[in-house]
Each structure stands twice: as structure tokens, then as C-alpha cells.
């Protein structure tokens, strides 16, 4: 039985897979697609592969969020993502496309071009007008927890970026409270509960130890009563725990994905769609009996 009536997906029936399509030159995962005609062709091919491998949602983003990355302006972000969204929507009109942005102007254009969800890594704190756009379009809205601060980032050549010295009074209670602040912003704009999805923000303004604790105690976020999206894929907390570069983190990601599903995740956001779809299906067979 769907615990969230009138929701965009039948939550609780299985774990849904969100495949990441990065239209960026500087993605932390190393899989970014540059803009241009070749990028559009590559993105459509990646979308086809992800859908074949079991992706339920394709999340398209035009700005890197890795530690130390440089922000881009709205015009550049639009130039990167809109041709890709338009082309993927044309090739796969039934595919569920999500725009990964914190800007209202980008969300508006993306939704007009074929995207149906909005994934905001700042949980409406960067641009509260984004909630108005989602409400107007009736678009499901992912609200992520984020305490990212550039001066708390530490970069290593082999393992990439991580956050250090990030302090919480109470990790889970603070994340719960700040996510509910984002929910309140969405409510004020008219976004209904059935269209709100929460993301605890693994890797965003959290140390390695804090990320490990968050995965282990993910059930505390689930108690807020909203569907839960998690994105542990290839993240630095895996690399620093296992002392492995990003291209060798598939097993660590699989372990994190399985545990997140066990602790209540409804959607997993991943780079390695085929492998993680199998991990999710096996975990579902055990925990959703």
C-alpha cells in the first residue's frame, strides 16, 4: 500500500533508482559531460544506457557541487542543461527527468523543456522562489540538507575533497530541524506534502565520521514522514574510509546503498546505475518481504 496518497511514485513498493547525468566539466565523479553538440549526443546515449539498466529517474545537473568547485552563473547553467533535457525528452518522452538546480530561473526553463522534478541541493535556502516554480508546475521537489562551506573543504590529489571541522550540536536533530525549515518554505509556496522528498545531504558539509553516522542512523530522517532520497554514490566518505580513489568506490557505494535502503531510503541517486539497481533489488528482496 502506498503510504503517501497521490504521490508521484508508489513509495514503499520498491527502491527507485535515480541516475546522475552531469553536464559539467568538473564533476567530482569524473563523469561530467561538457556542453555542445557532442555533449547532447553523449547525454542521450547515457540516458539510454541508464534507462536500459533500470533507472526510474534521470537527474540532470549543470553545476558541480564538489568541494572546491567554482559556481557558474544562470546563463551558463541553462546553456549546459537545456539542450540535454530537450534532447533526452525528445528521445524518451516517457522518461522521468529531474533538474538538479537551486535556481528558480533554471528550474522554470527545465520544467518547460520536459523535466518533471526539481532537485534542490540547498533546500530552498539559496533561492526560495524555486518553491513557487515547483508549486506552479505541480512538480515533485527534492529538498536536501546542506551545510557546505568552502573554507571547511580539504582537498587531496588522490582521494579528492572532504569536509573537516564541521560542527553540529546534535547531528541528526540538527539535520531534522533544518530539513523541516526547508519543508516550511515549500509549504508557504503551496507545494503539497505529497510532492516533497527529503535528502539528508550525505557529503554536503559533513565530515567522514558524520557521514558514516548519518547512513547508520538514516531512520531518524525517515521519521519526519516524507519519502527519502539518498546519494552516497562514489562520495569522499567512502574514499577516505577505504583509502580508495573515486574510480574504485563501487563496492563501498554498494554497501552504503544497501544500508540506506535497509534504513528507509525510497530513492538512491547513483552513477553506476546497472550495478546499484542489482544491489537495490537484492536488498529489497530481503528488507521489503
Query: Could you tell me which residue, 255 or 160, shows the higher pLDDT?
Result: 255
Query: Taking 60 as the threshold, does the pLDDT of residue 28 lie above it?
Result: no
- pLDDT at residue 1, rounded to an integer: 35
Fold classification of 16-287 is: TIM Barrel (3.20.20)
Measured distance CA(27)–CA(100) in Å, rounded: 13
Q: Which residues of 7-27 are buried (b: 16+ CB within 10 A; e: fewer)?
A: bbbebeebbbbbbbbbbbeeb
Q: Which residue is catalytic, options 269, 278, 281, 288?
A: 269
Average pLDDT over all residues of the chain: 91
3-state secondary structure of 247: helix
Each residue of 56-108: pLDDT tens digit?
Answer: 999 999 997 766 567 789 999 999 999 999 999 999 999 999 999 999 999 99
Q: What pLDDT shows up at residue 157?
A: 67
136 in active site: no
**What separation in angstroms does the CA of 10 have from each of 2, 56, 64, 86?**
5, 12, 30, 27
Residue 120: strand, helix, or coil: strand
235 is catalytic: yes
Residue 36 in this model has a pLDDT that exceeds 50: yes
For residue 46, give the 3-state DSSP assignment.
helix
Which residues are 99's β-sheet partners?
60, 118
pLDDT of residue 69: 62
Q: In the structure, what pLDDT confidence band is assigned to residue 24 with cuts at 50, 70 and 90?
A: confident
Kindly name the residue from 80, 235, 249, 263 that is annotated as catalytic.
235
Q: How far is CA 158 from the centre of its chain?
A: 24
Mean pLDDT of 174-200: 98
Q: What confidence score (pLDDT) does residue 163 get?
A: 74
pLDDT by residue (tens digit) across 225-278? 999 999 999 999 999 999 999 899 999 999 999 999 999 999 999 999 999 999
Q: Could you tell me the strand order of the sheet in which 229-230 lies?
A: 196-199, 141-144, 117-120, 96-100, 57-61, 16-22, 267-270, 229-230
- The domain ranges of the chain are 16-287
**pTM strictly above 0.85:** yes
Neighbours of 88 (CB within 10 A): 25
DSSP label at residue 228:
B
Q: Is the pLDDT of residue 209 over 50?
A: yes
Question: What's residue 30's pLDDT?
Answer: 47
Q: How far is CA 42 from CA 45, 49, 77, 155, in A?
A: 5, 11, 18, 29
Encode pLDDT of 116-143 as tens digits. Answer: 999 999 999 999 999 999 999 999 999 9
Dihedral sign, Cα of residue 177, residue 183, residue 188, residue 189 = positive
Q: Is 176 helix (H, G, I), strand (E, B) or coil?
A: helix
The pLDDT value recorded for residue 187 is 98
The β-bridge partners of 21 are 60
Amino acid at each position: 500500500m502506498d503510504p503517501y496518497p497521490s504521490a508521484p511514485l508508489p513509495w514503499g513498493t520498491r527502491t527507485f533508482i535515480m541516475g546522475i547525468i552531469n553536464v559539467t566539466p568538473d564533476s567530482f565523479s569524473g563523469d561530467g559531460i561538457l556542453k555542445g553538440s557532442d555533449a547532447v549526443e553523449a547525454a542521450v546515449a547515457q540516458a539510454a544506457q541508464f534507462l536500459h539498466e533500470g533507472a526510474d529517474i534521470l537527474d540532470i545537473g549543470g553545476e558541480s557541487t564538489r568541494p572546491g568547485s567554482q559556481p557558474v552563473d544562470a546563463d551558463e547553467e541553462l546553456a549546459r542543461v537545456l539542450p540535454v533535457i530537450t534532447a533526452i525528452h525528445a528521445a524518451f518522452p516517457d522518461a522521468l527527468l529531474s533538474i538538479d538546480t537551486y535556481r528558480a530561473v533554471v528550474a522554470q526553463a527545465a520544467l518547460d523543456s520536459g523535466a518533471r522534478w526539481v532537485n534542490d541541493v540547498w533546500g530552498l535556502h539559496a533561492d526560495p522562489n524555486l518553491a513557487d516554480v515547483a508549486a506552479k508546475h505541480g512538480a515533485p521537489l527534492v529538498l536536501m540538507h546542506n551545510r557546505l562551506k568552502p573554507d571547511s573543504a580539504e582537498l587531496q590529489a588522490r582521494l579528492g575533497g572532504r569536509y573537516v571541522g564541521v560542527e553540529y550540536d546534535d547531528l541528526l536533530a540538527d539535520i531534522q530541524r533544518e530539513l523541516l525549515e526547508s519543508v516550511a518554505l515549500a509549504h508557504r509556496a503551496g507545494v503539497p506534502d505529497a510532492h516533497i522528498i527529503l535528502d539528508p545531504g550525505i557529503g554536503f558539509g559533513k565530515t567522514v565520521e558524520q557521514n558514516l553516522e548519518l547512513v547508520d542512523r538514516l531512520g531518524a530522517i525517515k521519521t519526519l514522514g516524507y519519502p527519502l532520497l539518498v546519494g552516497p554514490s562514489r562520495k569522499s566518505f567512502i574514499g577516505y574510509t577505504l583509502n580508495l580513489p573515486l574510480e574504485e568506490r563501487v563496492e563501498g557505494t554498494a554497501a552504503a546503498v544497501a544500508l540506506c535502503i535497509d534504513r528507509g531510503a525510497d530513492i538512491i541517486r547513483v552513477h553506476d546505475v546497472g550495478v546499484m539497481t542489482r544491489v537495490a533489488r537484492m536488498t529489497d528482496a530481503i528488507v521489503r518481504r
